[in-house]
Amino acid sequence: MAESWSFLDTFEPNFRPLVVIELAKGTKEETIEWFTKRIVDKKANGGAQLLVKPLVMENGGEHIYLVGASTLRLLLGAETVGLVKECNDNSMRTFTYSSRKTFKDFADDNPNFLTMAECQYIIKHELENLRAKDEKMIPGYPQAKLYPGKSIVRRLLTSGILVQIFPLHDREELKKLCHTWYGRVKVDYQPLDEIRGYFGETIALYFGFLEYFTFALVPMAVIGIPYYVFAWEDYDKYVVFATFNLCWSTMILEFWKRLCATMTYRWGTLLMKRQFEEPRPGFHGVLGINPVTGREEPVYSSIKRQLRIYLVSLPFVCLCLYFSLYVMMIYFGLEQWALDYHEVNESNFSSLMLFVPSVIYAVVIEIMNRIYRYAAEFLTSWENHRLESSYQNHLILKVLVFNFLNCFASLFYIAFVLFDMKLLRQSLATLLITSQILNQFAESLLPYWLQKRYKKKMKKRICSLKTDTDLSLVEQVSLEKEMGTYVGTFDDYLELFLQFGYVSLFSCVYPLAAVFAVLNNITEMYSDALKMCRVYKRPFAEPTANIGVWQLAFETMSVISVVTNCILIGMSPQVNALFADSKTDLILTVALIEHLLLALKFIMAFIIPDKPRHIQMQLAKLEFESLEALKQQVRAGDMYNSEK
Amino acid sequence: MAESWSFLDTFEPNFRPLVVIELAKGTKEETIEWFTKRIVDKKANGGAQLLVKPLVMENGGEHIYLVGASTLRLLLGAETVGLVKECNDNSMRTFTYSSRKTFKDFADDNPNFLTMAECQYIIKHELENLRAKDEKMIPGYPQAKLYPGKSIVRRLLTSGILVQIFPLHDREELKKLCHTWYGRVKVDYQPLDEIRGYFGETIALYFGFLEYFTFALVPMAVIGIPYYVFAWEDYDKYVVFATFNLCWSTMILEFWKRLCATMTYRWGTLLMKRQFEEPRPGFHGVLGINPVTGREEPVYSSIKRQLRIYLVSLPFVCLCLYFSLYVMMIYFGLEQWALDYHEVNESNFSSLMLFVPSVIYAVVIEIMNRIYRYAAEFLTSWENHRLESSYQNHLILKVLVFNFLNCFASLFYIAFVLFDMKLLRQSLATLLITSQILNQFAESLLPYWLQKRYKKKMKKRICSLKTDTDLSLVEQVSLEKEMGTYVGTFDDYLELFLQFGYVSLFSCVYPLAAVFAVLNNITEMYSDALKMCRVYKRPFAEPTANIGVWQLAFETMSVISVVTNCILIGMSPQVNALFADSKTDLILTVALIEHLLLALKFIMAFIIPDKPRHIQMQLAKLEFESLEALKQQVRAGDMYNSEK
């Protein structure tokens, strides 16, 4: 293997490749030289002080570089990014190089003190913080302007010189992880700590949420089954089921916060300080002074952005919503037609035909969701948000509103305009199941199959060049660089969010929804694990302390579901029979119960603490210590001054 | 004047008395000696390094001490408590002694860099943080136990040796403040910055809120007047009024947050770091180890506290609520009796009698509120909360629930059980006006009159001893120490909260309520100002960044008012006439509108940022700077390590 390497820098004996940099074909020599020099240069000279080795590929022309770092460099980097690790006394503390001996498992010869995901995150952070000094442009590319403080990697990315940066898989670790995760048939929790060690906190938290959510759905599924089996249609049973559901959904969301805090405390991200956010790569504007940092950087008028949002994006979203409703009306036309057809010529075929409109509609919904997603991404990116977080929030808002309407509008229409509970149940089942099948297929199985085919082709090609059957580093890199890029947990959370909607919004009409959701989530866990390990490039670890805006989205859904369920119960013939003499009383009672339930929800959310007691204690302890340290400092100053 | 002083310590030439300490009559000499020694002792020896001078009173026997501090000591103390002051570049920064030159208005010879309120706050903080070292008890009082780390002042207070600690008024400053505040007839904003400089942030924020709230009520009052004058009873006008009210009340609460942030940013408290909270003085328990601090201090089992809360306090509160409802039913009996009486013998007297039950009920409500208040304080203190904040939260919750029910139950009953809008209007008016008159009287005028009488008596007595007409320091202290103690803004906020309830809950029935509220608040501003300046002892300044739990209380009230107003409009005969053919449609429409309004409220609260843009910018700037400083530090370490 060694002969395929050219040695630029050999002062580190055991170079461990962590991150791959792919430059575009035909990148100028001077650019490469400048860029690699900046990466290896000393910190004091404005470099990143990392190690770089070029990787010579078989077909040549491609510029692939492997980036690594010395152990000392990584430890200092861990201090820079503010990693929080466990100490010998089991408390969690921000890592500093000078206090390294107090941390658990730290030893000068232990390379596993930092997980590989952490090392890769540090390298990514260091690369992204490689900033232009006095360069006015990227050497060799006069059109790629630079200014002091601009991130070099971001400019290289936006000008197309840098094709991609991605972390390498660790084939040994991956094999082990795959085995414990989904490789063997067992009934067990997911190995969340191992997932976190390999893929980072954001992804581990998603799998944690998926697992938690699935477990949380089990009681609803268990209670739901007898409703289906015995065809219980008594209103009192429905009321019981719906009430249970409502309290349950509030509780699970509250308890998730606690579980999440427990996990992220253990992982150290709960205590990690937020880093200052740099402009996102796509952000552009005229050069000006940032009022916060005082640095020269592109600025873009907030009024212009507001105009774009309110005059273009908002009307576009409304148009899409209108279009979605229009498609819904077509669906109802089709549905009516199928019903008529079934009535005229009754046959097995015609009764099968009854399901066709729903299935078609479900497919159309999925397609529309996906198309809209691209449009929303384009629009949000065109709105030119300065920060990634603001970009994400606007994107999520756009996508959520549309997907909510697109998926649930027909159900609302059936329930509250047509008052057809049978059709509601049928539509709900069809939509839920079809979307689950489509999602599983489009998300994991299709990419997996494509990836497998490609891998075989590659292997054949490589095998024709070499006789060695074990994949070398070159082969590994050339395989991985062609893999798809995992774009984040957005789609996965969105899927869960919509599923939560199907389960909770109309739960008292179709108690079986929870059963399907549980079944789907179990396979989802496996297919998502497969996707992470086999289909996509390894993603960079992203430290996070919670599931962010999704918590709010799920909570909003659970508030809406209180309203819908109360109305559904009020509409049921059994309840109507109970209030036969006065419909007014019925409505007033339902409204009263709804308000009480909503009040109960808010009170519960208020009373249940967001963090378990032992974590609150730990946080209080840390705060106390830092205040004490400050006081000591002041007191030392005091004495100094009073002795003067 | 000088001859009435005995000089314990004369190394500071210009001793400025800031805080008064009153010890019980007959306190043992050794205790006094030990206590004063601890106060003047060097920081390094565990003292507070303050200045103390005994004040010899005419009648002897009383132990009064004046506490002051050198300028240097106060500046160091400002650093300890973490004061935030304005810098020369107009940014707000945490004060440190070493960076003192960069602060605005700082000069070695400027004694006004710290306001007198700040100096007094610092002294209070230093006194309270005077902790026992190896004393096992207070010298001379074997029963008053001490343990290492226990606050000496708190133990002295609980064992009755220390009668009180209070800050001295500055007669010059007070005169100036009184003049600009309420001394001249003018239409102007209150001098909030001056109030803050003299009384501290908590009180300034209350007056700021009172003023803001009054201004915010003006539009409602202005719109409400024509409804009364022209006796508009059309439902559409009521709908317009109610809708305006709902949006308005949401907006004013949101915008208050912004205004509050602006003010507290200017005052520096928005940026002030929270201090670690010590146990409140009344907290007791067996000596144990605090798991957070690791220090020996009394601990009290949380389970015991929970038992006390749920087995004693909760049933007691429920009983009080029941009693309050019982009294309400008696009131309705009286009301009925008065009506019957009026019908039988119609006369001027009998029509006057119609108002008597309401007035009596209003007086009874006030009395019950006050009695309950004592009971709630006793119970909450008996629950033995460790922290003052937790004590306050439990107290506020208890008081709010009872006062809400006590004040509004009869109105709810009249509105939604009796459906008597005329009676509702009459009751509302009587309750509102009576409670306002009673409050003004009991809160300010009565204490002012008592205080004035006492002052005259004192003056006479003093004049008989001396011929000097100008009050000396001795006289000032002996006057002030007998003044009442201002117990905090709780009652003042509570009054505003209930007023907000009267105005908003049934606003569409009695639009004139806002007018009375505005009138009341204008006089309230003056009487509260009078109370602060003339009636009570000067309170210690208490830094705060917001109005705390009251924001939540007001927001909850505004949510409830959406519900009540929607129902009231739905019940109005005009709206009923509109939906003559179907009562069901009416209720559904009202419910729909109510849900839309609630949704709108939450969306508005979500969209309107809690801090104005320029403050967000300033905060981002500070955060950026601290992150940069951290980075520089790490980088310096980096270089050091890489050069090794």
- pLDDT, tens only, B241-281: 777 887 888 889 999 999 999 999 999 888 887 777 777 87
pLDDT value of residue A468: 44
- Residue B330 is encoded by which pair of tokens? 């008696």
B232/B512 Cα distance (integer angstroms): 12
Residue in A624, A625, A633, A644 to test binding to B, most B beta-carbons within 10 Å: A624
H helices of B345-445, in order, are: 348-353, 356-382, 388-413, 421-440
B520/B443 Cα distance (integer angstroms): 13
Q: Work out the pLDDT band at A413, boundaries 50, 70, 90.
A: very high
Q: Is the pLDDT of residue B161 over 50?
A: yes
Q: Convert A63-107 into a string of H (helix), E (strand) and C (coil).
A: EEEEEECCHHHHHHHHHHHCCEEEECCCCEEECCCCCHHHECCCC
Q: What percent of chain A has pLDDT over 70?
A: 91
Q: Where are the beta strands (DSSP E) in B212-349?
A: 286-289, 296-299
The answer to whether B275 contacts A627, with C-beta atoms less than 8 Å apart, is yes
Q: Is the pLDDT of residue B528 over 90?
A: no
Question: Among all residues of chain B, which has the CA nearest to that of A586?
Answer: B584
Interface check for A348 against chain B (CB to CB < 8 A): the answer is: no
The Cα of A617 is separated from the nearest Cα of chain B by a number of Å equal to: 6
The Cα of B122 is separated from the nearest Cα of chain A by a number of Å equal to: 14
**Per-residue pLDDT tens digits for B403-461:** 999 989 999 999 888 888 888 888 888 888 888 888 888 777 777 787 778 777 776 76
Point out the residue among B44, B79, B637 whose CB comes nearest to the CB of A97. Answer: B637
Point out the residue among A43, A292, A641 whose CB comes nearest to the CB of B76. Answer: A641
Compute the average pLDDT of residues B41-65. Answer: 81
Interface check for B370 against chain A (CB to CB < 8 A): the answer is: no
**Per-residue pLDDT tens digits for B385-404:** 988 888 988 999 999 999 99
pLDDT value of residue A12: 52
Residue in A394, A562, A638 to test binding to B, most B beta-carbons within 10 Å: A638
Interface check for B551 against chain A (CB to CB < 8 A): the answer is: no
Q: What percent of chain B has pLDDT over 90?
A: 24
Interface check for B644 against chain A (CB to CB < 8 A): the answer is: no
Question: Among all residues of chain B, which has the CA nearest to that of A606?
Answer: B552
Over chain B, what is the mean pLDDT?
A: 84
Looking at A76-90, A508-522, A623-637, which range is the least confident one? A623-637
Question: Among all residues of chain A, which has the CA nearest to that of B563?
Answer: A595
Compute the average pLDDT of residues A95-122. Answer: 86
Question: Residue B43: its chain A contacts at CB < 8 A?
Answer: 635, 638-639, 642
Whether residue A272 contacts residue A95, with contact meaning beta carbons closer than 8 Å, is answered with no
Interface check for B596 against chain A (CB to CB < 8 A): the answer is: no
Q: Work out the pLDDT band at A234, boundaries 50, 70, 90.
A: low
Q: Work out the pLDDT band at A402, boundaries 50, 70, 90.
A: very high
Q: Work out the pLDDT band at B469, boundaries 50, 70, 90.
A: very low
Whether residue A92 contacts residue A265, with contact meaning beta carbons closer than 8 Å, is answered with yes
Compute the average pLDDT of residues B115-129. Answer: 90
Could you give the C-alpha distances from B246 to B276, B496, B552, B564, in angstroms and in order?
39, 18, 16, 11
Whether residue B105 contacts residue B118, with contact meaning beta carbons closer than 8 Å, is answered with no
The answer to whether A44 contacts B639, with C-beta atoms less than 8 Å apart, is yes
Q: Is the pLDDT of residue B468 over 50?
A: no
pLDDT value of residue B101: 87
B486/A534 Cα distance (integer angstroms): 70
**Per-residue pLDDT tens digits for B322-381:** 999 999 999 999 988 888 888 888 888 888 888 888 888 888 988 999 899 999 999 999
Whether residue B520 contacts residue B502, with contact meaning beta carbons closer than 8 Å, is answered with no
Point out the residue among B584, B627, B628 whose CB comes nearest to the CB of A584. Answer: B584
The Cα of A365 is separated from the nearest Cα of chain B by a number of Å equal to: 27
Q: Is the pLDDT of residue A642 over 80?
A: no
Task: Work out the burial of residue A1: count CB atoms within 10 Å of its CB; fewer than 13 is exposed, 13-18 middle, 19 or more buried.
Answer: exposed
Which residue type does B361 have? Y
Interface check for B563 against chain A (CB to CB < 8 A): the answer is: yes
**Per-residue pLDDT tens digits for A57-107:** 766 677 889 999 988 888 888 888 888 998 888 888 888 888 888 888 888
The answer to whether B637 contacts A80, with C-beta atoms less than 8 Å apart, is no
Q: Is the pLDDT of residue A315 over 90?
A: yes
Point out the residue among A98, A587, A617 whose CB comes nearest to the CB of B588. Answer: A587
The Cα of B340 is separated from the nearest Cα of chain A by a number of Å equal to: 32
Question: Residue B627: its chain A contacts at CB < 8 A?
Answer: 273, 275-276
Q: Is the pLDDT of residue B12 over 70?
A: no
The Cα of A597 is separated from the nearest Cα of chain B by a number of Å equal to: 14
Interface check for B90 against chain A (CB to CB < 8 A): the answer is: no
Interface check for A243 against chain B (CB to CB < 8 A): the answer is: no
Count of positions (residues) in chain A? 644
pLDDT value of residue A632: 67
Point out the residue among A49, A587, A637 whose CB comes nearest to the CB of B587. Answer: A587
Question: Residue B396: its chain A contacts at CB < 8 A?
Answer: none
Question: Residue A631: its chain B contacts at CB < 8 A?
Answer: 80
Question: Residue A642: its chain B contacts at CB < 8 A?
Answer: 42-44, 49, 72, 76
pLDDT value of residue A4: 31
Q: Is the pLDDT of residue A225 over 80?
A: yes
Interface check for A295 against chain B (CB to CB < 8 A): the answer is: no
Point out the residue among B49, B79, B627 whose CB comes nearest to the CB of A634. Answer: B79
Whether residue B22 contacts residue B64, with contact meaning beta carbons closer than 8 Å, is answered with yes
Interface check for B352 against chain A (CB to CB < 8 A): the answer is: no
- Residue A633 is encoded by which pair of tokens? 């400092």
Neighbours of B482 (CB within 10 A): 12
